[in-house]
Amino acid sequence: METPNWTLIIVFTAVGLAFAAGFVLFALWAIRDGQFQDVEGVKFRMLEDFNPKKGRTAPRD
């Protein structure tokens, strides 16, 4: 028995909307948590952690 085309369209639409809603909720969670307040700071903190003399990350405080 074949599934009607409308059923497939509705299923794919529901799955797509669920993924989109999950992405939006994840983005809102990250924004509310302050992940994007200091975009350049992440790069500089990563550079400070790297110790070029030892060739690995330095121990954190």
**What local confidence, expressed as pLDDT, does residue 23 receive?**
96
pLDDT attached to residue 20: 98
More confident residue, 20 or 50: 20
17-46 pLDDT per residue, tens = 999 999 999 999 988 887 777 666 556 655
13, pLDDT greater than 60: yes
* Residue 48 pLDDT exceeds 60: no
Token pair 């994007």: residue: 36
Does pTM surpass 0.85? Answer: no
Which of 52, 27, 50 has the alpha carbon at shortest distance from 60?
A: 50
Q: Is residue 19 within 8 Å of residue 12, measured between CB atoms?
A: no
